[in-house]
Amino acid sequence: MIVGTMLIELHAPWVHSLKEKRMVVKSICAKAGNKFNISIAEVDKQDMHQAIVIGIACVTDETAHANSILDNVLNFIEDNTEAEVVSVSRELL
């Protein structure tokens, strides 16, 4: 069993309230979670308006498949939000 995890930090300069941020985060999490069958949630910096940190996890039986899922999720998030990706860290266990 391979567990793939990824932490994506985004910067959304147009967000000026936690309500706006929540709408962006909920949209990203719902769309990506449904499309890729992954676990996804905001995991850090919940009180900072323009910073979004999303944690993603997937479970599979092959390392290549886990890498493929994480690559596809990252591409999907980059294509479906105007927020800028600041950093990405991933780990396979």
| Paired strand residues for 90 | 6
Give the closest residue to 93 by CA, choosing from 70, 42, 59. 59
Q: Which domain holds residue 18?
A: 2-92
The pLDDT confidence band at residue 22, using thresholds 50, 70 and 90, is: very high
Q: Choose between 47 and 87: higher pLDDT.
A: 87
The pLDDT assigned to 13 comes to: 92
Which CATH number belongs to the domain containing residue 14 in this structure?
3.30.70.1120
Q: Is the pTM of this model over 0.75?
A: yes
Q: How many domains does the chain have?
A: 1
In the predicted model, is pLDDT for residue 86 greater than 90?
yes
42-67 as b/e: b if 16+ CB within 10 A: beeeeeeeebbbbebbbebeeeeebb
The pLDDT assigned to 92 comes to: 94
The pLDDT confidence band at residue 61, using thresholds 50, 70 and 90, is: very high
